[in-house]
Amino acid sequence: MKRISWLAFPTLSLSVWASPAKRATWNPPSNLVQPLTQVWNHEVATYNMNFKNFGYDQLIAAKGTAKVCVRWESTTQTVTEAQRAQVQTAIQRSYKKWIDWFVGFDGFPYSSVPLSVVGWAVSNPSLLQGSTSGIDVYTNRDSGGIPECNPACGRFFHQDNNYSGCPGGAARHYDFSVWLTPGFGGGAGGDWGARIGTEYFMSNLNTENIHILLHELGHYFALDDFYDWTPTGVTNFIMLAGSATQITDFDGWMARDWWRHLKSRYGIAKEGANSLEIEGSQAANLTWVDQEF
């Protein structure tokens, strides 16, 4: 399998990544039509698109909101209250850069998707300095002993939205996790959330485009990697790891294409239709792993 080296790609001029044009229907720039068709065909040939826990499924189930739980894997590093606020702002900013492509497009039923960090998982609550009021502090561990947010409250583990085992019930559930691992190079992303390096993220909290997080959130919205092939005529975009540091028009139109193809499962065939309940499949998950950027 051929790996694409990011060193091979020079940075393009800023004009390539205009903010999302508010086009109400499928009408991508003509130069993107062929590569978009190639990418969608490759996606349906590669993945089971009947999967019911894509980011789209989650935000519809949560009625246009997104709740995040942070997994803080470091056992020694403390986090101040101010840093936690910055973490939330950084995740909000990054998530919104994808959502902006959906708002106003092809029956997307929300004008915004407000995101909040509702919980933190830590090895020891003393790592969280200052007040933790308003968030759930979890000390659960996954099978590998790594702090995780209470599975009983997590959408990944309860795709039927039954949070009866969650101490705070559905109101205190979380939709996905942002998992911060010390010394972690590259990233991983999928329907369960995003995993990136603690140092990378914490030193980029005020960076406008936290590009590895943007890429992993692309996976949350079921966008694919491009380590083994590239579509015709597009060489710089966030899902081609290392080739872009911002969500480009091509990335945005890919995401719109996924929405366009998946929206019928929400009963959004035409404008104004009601959404449907989504039946989940508990065992499945979709994960992409990135070695480098």
* C-beta closer to ligand NAG: residue 40 or 184: 184
Tokens of 78: 């403390």
Give the interface segment with ligand NAG, choosing from 43-51, 130-138, 158-166, 199-207 (CB under 6 A).
158-166
For residue 160, the minimal CB distance to Zn ion (Å) is: 28
By a kind-dependent CB cut-off of 5 to 8 A, residue 29 interacts, out of Zn ion, ligand NAG, none, with: none
Site for ligand NAG in 189-248 (CB under 6 A): 192
Beta-bridge partners for 115: 66
Over the window 157 to 186, marking each residue x when it contacts Zn ion by CB under 5 A and - when it does not, the resulting string is: ------------------------------
Separation between Cα atoms, residue 181 and residue 19, nearest integer Å: 31
For residue 7, the minimal CB distance to Zn ion (Å) is: 18
Using CB under 6 A as the binding rule, whether residue 164 contacts ligand NAG is answered as: yes
Half-sphere exposure of 142 (CA within 13 A, CB side): 12
* C-beta closer to ligand NAG: residue 119 or 252: 119
Place of tokens 């369960």: 192
Q: Are 189 and 288 in contact (CB under 8 A)?
A: yes
For residue 98, the minimal CB distance to ligand NAG (Å) is: 20
Using CB under 5 A as the binding rule, whether residue 43 contacts Zn ion is answered as: no
Using CB under 5 A as the binding rule, whether residue 251 contacts Zn ion is answered as: no
* C-beta closer to ligand NAG: residue 34 or 162: 162
For residue 146, the minimal CB distance to Zn ion (Å) is: 21
Q: Are 178 and 189 in contact (CB under 8 A)?
A: no
Contacts 24+ apart (CB under 8 A), 177-180: 177/68, 177/69, 177/70, 177/71, 177/121, 177/148, 177/149, 178/68, 178/69, 178/70, 178/71, 178/87, 178/91, 178/213, 179/70, 179/71, 179/73, 180/70, 180/71, 180/72, 180/73, 180/74
Which residues are CB-contacts of 252 (< 8 A; sequence separation ≥ 6)?
Answer: 20, 101
Give the interface segment with ligand NAG, choosing from 40-48, 50-58, 85-93, 160-168 (CB under 6 A).
160-168
* C-beta closer to Zn ion: residue 81 or 228: 228
Q: Is the dihedral of CA 206, 212, 217, 218 positive or negative?
A: positive
Place of tokens 């692309």: 218
Q: Which of 225, 246, 275, 293 binds Zn ion (CB under 5 A)?
A: 225
By a kind-dependent CB cut-off of 5 to 8 A, residue 287 interacts, out of ligand NAG, Zn ion, none, with: ligand NAG
Separation between Cα atoms, residue 248 and residue 103, nearest integer Å: 16
Q: Which of 114, 165, 169, 185 binds ligand NAG (CB under 6 A)?
A: 165
* C-beta closer to Zn ion: residue 74 or 245: 245
For residue 154, the minimal CB distance to ligand NAG (Å) is: 10
By a kind-dependent CB cut-off of 5 to 8 A, residue 126 interacts, out of ligand NAG, Zn ion, none, with: none
Q: Is the dihedral of CA 193, 197, 198, 204 positive or negative?
A: negative
Amino acid at 104: G
Residues binding ligand NAG (CB under 6 A): 162, 164-165, 192, 285, 287
Residues binding Zn ion (CB under 5 A): 225, 288, 290
